[in-house]
A and B are shown apart, each in its own frame.
Chain A
Amino acid sequence: MTAPLLEVRHLSKEFPLRGLRFGRHRGGTVRAVDDVSFDLYPGETLGLVGESGSGKSTLGRTVLRLFEPTSGEIVFDGEPVTADNAAGLRRRAQIVFQDPYASLPPRMRVRRILADPLLIHEIVSPSQVEERVASLLRDVGLSEEHARAFPHQLSGGQRQRVSIARALAVEPSLVVADEAVSALDVSVQAQILNLMKDLQAGRGLAYLFISHDLGVVRYMSRRIAVMFLGRIVEVGPAAEITSGPLHPYTSTLLAAVPKVGPQRTVTRLDSDHPAPARVDIGCSYRTRCPMAQEVCETDRPELVEWAPGRRSACHFALDVPQRLQASLPVPGSAG
């Protein structure tokens, strides 16, 4: 296989807990991203799923150094990314955000939004900007007329297309898509997902595709990483993860996804779980885990390879398929 485009090693990001008085730090921190490592190959999509608070968005932004990492290493195309050379990363890696209403500058016309990155990086000469803006718009399925519009004059789907065009302007090799379709209606969501797939095929883009929606992630990704409380608990090929998870959390996530079908399937009630606690020792999923044993309270499971290409941070990863599939309801029992 070729060399990875992006290598992330033991990346952590802590946020200080601010006290109310004078905005001074009171010592405490929240570890939003906790010792995360993964590789992303050129032209590949790595899906990143997790629930709110899992740290997936923070991870996406820290990888782009929009947040300064607390510790760990980011290697992009063989070069370690540091605070000093992060500027180079800005030409190679871009981001598309969730909210199509907040992610575009409200008082700029589309033309200027797209021209700015071209001018900053001197990608084309000023005389060619107009032409390049038009071609970017065409690439994302908009027309030249949209260049004159302000963001508020566009629909949600059109805005998201502009966001994508802005990301593509610098001709990046990596795009972080942070819940890029979550705010869109399903019909528009399908349009944008297909557009992103086409752009990927045409330009050899790699995506770090962050979403809480397993269906969307499954559709877009070759591999999926599942995050829970700041850590990756399982990573592997998309098809294998969704058909036979090796971590109980992945299994719970999959069971909770509503499915279109003739039967009701979401019937397995996880005991109404307590809020997950961030723990220093042991497995942080153990308070919700139906398979938890004594060892889970004392030893933190590492993310290790249990089968070719399949890594899971569970002491009993190989038991997950039997143990949890067995407790799934017989189809139709509650339908």
Chain B
Amino acid sequence: MSDALATVEQTALRSGPIAAGAGRRILRSPFLLVGLVGVTVIAAAAAFAPLIAPDDPTAQNLANILAPPIWVEGGTTDHLLGTDVLGRDVASRILYGARNSLFVAFSAMLLGSSLGLITGLLAGFFGGRVDSILMRLGDVQLAFPFILLAIAILGVVAARPAWLLIVVLGIPGWIVYARVVRSRVLAEKEKDYVAAAAAMGAGPWRRLFRYVFPSVWQVVPVIALLDVGFLIIMESTLSFLGLGLPPPAATWGGILADGRRNMVVSQWLPILPGLAIVVTVLSINLVGDGLAAVFDSRHIHRGLRRPFSSSVPSASPVDTDSEALLSVRGLHVEFPLPGATVKAVRGVDFDLAAGETLGVVGESGSGKSVTASAVIGLLDPPGRITNGAVLFGGEDLARFSDRRMTTLRGRQIAMIFQNPAVSLNPVLTIGFQLREAIRHVTGADRHTVRHTARQVLVAVGIEDPDRISRQYPFQLSGGMNQRVMIAMVLAARPRLLLADEPTTALDTTTQAQILNRLVELTEAEQISLVLITHDIALVSEYADRMLVLYAGEVCEFGPVRQVISQPRHPYTRALLESVPRVEDPAERLQVIPGELPDPRRDRVGCPFADRCPHVMDICREVTPPRYDIAPGHIAACYLWASEPAEAVAT
């Protein structure tokens, strides 16, 4: 299911520039906007301090000391924020203070981040001794209270030039960058593209700087931004302690210290630089957090509403097979993504009788997984059913509330996925999870639950259920976990089981064992099974009927034997001919030229028209109706129209 959304996202992102989306997200985040405005104003104030400051920040006027700010009684427009104990203009000093604080903090950040970036790259990429030495150095650094070190160094130096302050503040920061960069490098260097670079002869330095570096440096700016905020506070602390830039240079910490000494007379004096520090650091942090969120894809869907089913327009009266347990009619599913709406399923219909196995075949983008998720009401947000009906035992699930679906899921309808490990809790034993699931759906007493748990494990082919019960999911193979999942869902005796690529991640021999069991069990228990797979051979082996989907539309539907031996849709035929077979190797595989149509576009005509060897003019103009080939066998292709012109009219 997450696969389906990944595909959808992939398609959406492939052609749309990511930057545009980021721009929109910035505008939609009020905190980030406030932060950006704050940072811009403060940076401009610092940069243009000599132009906008009303006075020389060091010009003393002992005749007018500790003048109050303008909004306090006695304040004048000459000194908007008043004067300090030496009669210097506070507004000018705060502006110049911004200049000094930001310069020191920013330079220190550049120094620390460069050092950290380089050491992180080297430690992560070369590992071994380089890594050990650098990281142990980092541990020492972290264990030592760096503010004490800074005070010690700065305390013994009489003249404290700006560069010394920058070095003392900047160097200790390296370890933060180094650690994050190192861990990113460790993850990145294991990827195949780095191995491929090695295979084509790129040396270690080339691999590091041309291949790994471009993928890891992006972590630095966000840390750097937050670091600048921290460094401004550190710089102010040192200045406050009299260890910053030597007087008469204006610093926020210095003004604060002056103000503290005179706060009885002039309460505003310590508050103003304090405010400057708070506003600056807050703005920087808002920007840092905001940018991290904007560029973190996990946040992309935040704020999009969950699917909400009551909005589904009432389905037009439909003729349904009264025998059918599940009847899907005219199902449409859309994913409104930023910038475009992906129409993943466009009018899918099928029926499934009790105890029957339906194979749903299609390639990625065919809408096969999305269809299943829609049936069980587990569409990934922002997906939603926009039209159609999902009739289960005569009731339309598409119109069920979330709460009603919850009571149905796991009891009447169950689903298993490609990766069972994700569906199992890693910190609970298999037995506990299984018993919990059984107790939840059946409400039976402990003894019965224990007995049932054992029974279902044996039923799915686990020979020593007691040992397996005591184990955790990570201790078992993928095949074993999938058996457990099947045991878990079958314990509830659902009427319908949706299996989405249940064996795709498993070895062929394990796949055969598991599917044999699954089909046996569902047949014995009269459970309807929907087997979703990209592998048409699997469907041919295990299903009774099959549904071929392409680009969200139905191509062909019918009894498996008949569809396999007499495929009537050119896509089904092409699919069959493009699978390499062990038992009957082709001299040359048939190839379907071209690619899937864009899932975001509205389209007319047959979705397969552009890739079809039999394409006719009409195929591009009018969506083909489904023609009856034989009882229960339909194909959406004009090749089966008795008279094409007639079909146009309908």
Measured CB to CB, the residues of A under 8 A from B are 51-52, 61, 64, 66, 87, 90-91, 93-95, 97-99, 102-108, 116-117, 120-121, 152-155, 157, 163, 166-167, 169-170, 185-191, 193-194, 197, 212-216, 218-220, 239, 242, 252-262, 264-267, 269-270, 272-273, 275
Query: Would you call A275 and B477 a contact (CB within 8 A)?
Result: yes
B589 touches A218 (CB 8 A): no
Contact residues of B between 513 and 549, Cβ < 8 Å to A: 513, 515-516, 534-538, 540-542
CA distance A170 to B13 in the complex (A): 32
How far does the Cβ of A182 sit from chain B's closest Cβ, in whole Å?
A: 10
Q: Which residue of B lies closest to A61 (CB)?
A: B195
Judged by a CB distance under 8 angstroms, whether B643 is at the interface is no
Given contact pairs A185-B364, A260-B537, A266 touches B191 in the complex (Cβ within 8 A): no
Query: Chain A residues near B192 (CB, 8 Å)?
Result: 97-99, 102-103
- CB of B575 within 8 A of CB of A187, answer yes
Chain B nearest CB, measured from A51 CB (Å) = 4
B507 touches A214 (CB 8 A): no
Bound complex: CA A261 to CA B583 (Å): 10
Specify which of B195, B541, B576 is in contact with A264 (CB 8 Å cutoff): B541
Is B201 in contact with A87, judged by CB distance below 8 angstroms?
Answer: yes
Which one, B144-152, B172-180, B209-217, B271-279, is touching chain A? B209-217
CA distance A220 to B14 in the complex (A): 31
Which of B588-647 touch A at CB < 8 Å?
A: 588-593, 595
Asked whether A190 lies within 8 Å of B589 as measured between CB atoms, the reply is yes
Nearest opposing residue in chain A for B218, CB measure: A107
Q: Is there a chain A Cβ closer than 8 Å to B80's Cβ?
A: no
Q: In this assembly, does B197 line the interface, its C-beta being within 8 Å of a C-beta of chain A?
A: yes
Q: Given A193-B589, A266-B515, do A259 and B582 touch, yes or no (CB 8 Å)?
A: yes
Q: What is the CA–CA distance of A95 and B509 in the complex, to the nearest angstrom?
A: 27
Encoded as 1 (CB less than 8 Å from any A CB) or 0, chain B from 180 to 208 comes to 00000000000111111111111000100
Contact check, B507 vs A51: say whether CB atoms are below 8 A apart: yes
Are the CB atoms of A214 and B508 closer together than 8 Å? yes
| Contact A52 B197, beta carbon cutoff 8 Å | no
Measured between alpha carbons, how far is A169 from B645 in the docked complex, in Å? Answer: 53
* Shortest CB distance A206–B (Å): 16
Given the known inter-chain contacts A52-B507, A152-B14, A259-B540, please indicate yes or no for A272 contacting B513, CB distance below 8 A.
Answer: yes
Interface residue? B444 (CB, 8 A):
no
Q: Is B363 close to A, CB under 8 A?
A: yes
> Chain B 278-296, CB within 8 Å of chain A: the 1/0 string?
0000000000000000000
By beta carbon, the residue of chain A nearest B7 is A156
- Total interface residues on B, CB under 8 Å, equals 65
B564 — which chain A residues lie within 8 A by C-beta?
Answer: 260-262
CB < 8 Å: which of B191, B363, B463 contacts A102?
Answer: B191
Say how far A66's CB is from chain B's closest CB, in angstroms. Answer: 6
Do A218 and B580 touch across chains, with their CB atoms under 8 A apart? yes
- B77 contacts the other chain (CB 8 A): no
Q: Is B509's CB under 8 angstroms from A258's CB?
A: no
In the complex with contacts A103-B192, A116-B202, A153-B14, A186-B578 CB distance below 8 A = yes
Q: Which residues of A contact B197 (CB under 8 A)?
A: 105, 116
Contact of A262 among B461, B565, B593 (CB under 8 A): B565
In the complex the two chains form, is A257's CB within 8 Å of B595's CB?
A: no
Q: How far is the CA of A100 from the CA of B461 in the complex (A)?
A: 36
Alpha-carbon distance between A272 and B458 when the two chains are bound, in angstroms: 11
Q: Which residues of B contact A (CB under 8 A)?
A: 10, 13-15, 191-202, 206, 210-211, 214-215, 363-364, 461-463, 477, 507-513, 515-516, 534-538, 540-542, 561, 564-565, 574-576, 578-583, 585-586, 588-593, 595
Complexed CA–CA distance, A167 and B192 (Å): 13
Q: A116: shortest Cβ distance to chain B, in Å?
A: 7
Contacts of A257 in B (CB 8 A): 508, 537, 582-583
Ordered nearest first, which 4 A-B pairs have the shortest CB separation?
Answer: A90-B201, A190-B578, A219-B580, A185-B363
**Cβ of B214: which chain A residues have Cβ within 8 Å of it?**
105-108
By the criterion CB–CB under 8 Å, are B536 and A186 in contact? yes
Majority SS at the chain B contact face? helix
Contact of B511 among A94, A105, A252, A256 (CB under 8 A): A256
Residues of A within 8 A of B588 (CB): 194, 197
Q: Is the CB of B199 within 8 A of A95?
A: yes
Take A105-B211, A187-B575 as given contacts and tell me if A260 and B581 are in contact as well, using a CB distance cutoff of 8 Å: yes
**B201 x A266 contact (CB < 8 A):** no
- Cβ–Cβ < 8 Å partners of A194 in chain B: 588-589, 591
- The reply to whether B15 and A259 contact each other, CB–CB distance below 8 Å, is no
- Give the distance in Å from the alpha carbon of A202 to the alpha carbon of B540 in the complex: 36
* Residue in chain B with minimal CB distance to A97: B192
Whether A260 contacts B578 in the complex (CB less than 8 A), given A105-B215, A120-B202, A212-B507, comes out as no
- 19 examples of A-B residue contacts, CB within 8 angstroms: A51-B509, A94-B199, A94-B200, A105-B215, A120-B200, A120-B201, A185-B364, A188-B363, A190-B579, A191-B591, A193-B589, A212-B508, A213-B508, A239-B585, A261-B564, A266-B541, A269-B513, A269-B516, A275-B477
Taking the nearest CB of chain B, how far is it from the CB of A203, in angstroms? 16
Contact across chains for B516 and A187 when beta carbons are under 8 A apart: no
What separation, in Å, do the CA atoms of A213 and B508 have in the docked complex? 8
Chain A hits for B509, CB < 8 A: 51, 252-253, 256, 270, 273
Complex Cα spacing A194 to B580, Å: 11
Q: In the docked arrangement, what's the CA distance between A121 and B196, Å?
A: 15
Question: With A106-B215, A256-B508 given, is the CB distance from A215 to B363 under 8 Å?
Answer: no
Which residues on A sit within 8 Å (CB–CB) of B462?
272
Chain A residues with CB under 8 A of B542: 258, 264
Q: In this complex, what residue of B is CB-closest to A98? A: B192
Given contacts A51-B509, A258-B538, contact A66 B201 (CB under 8 A): no
Q: How many Å lie between the Cα of A259 and that of B537 in the bound state?
A: 5
Q: Closest residue of chain A to B515, judged by CB?
A: A266
Which A residues touch B363, using CB under 8 A?
185-188
**Chain A residue nearest to B13 in the complex (CB):** A152
- Apart from the given pairs A186-B575, A254-B582, 16 other A-B contacts in the complex at a CB distance below 8 Å: A87-B201, A90-B199, A103-B196, A105-B194, A105-B197, A107-B214, A187-B592, A194-B588, A194-B591, A216-B580, A255-B512, A256-B508, A258-B512, A259-B541, A262-B565, A272-B462
Decide if A260 touches B14 in the complex (CB within 8 Å).
no
Using A66-B198, A219-B585, A270-B513 as known contacts, say yes or no to A105 and B193 having CB atoms under 8 A apart. Answer: yes
CB distance from B174 to the nearest CB of A (A): 23
For the complex formed, measure the closest distance between the CB of A45 and the CB atoms of chain B, giving whole angstroms.
13
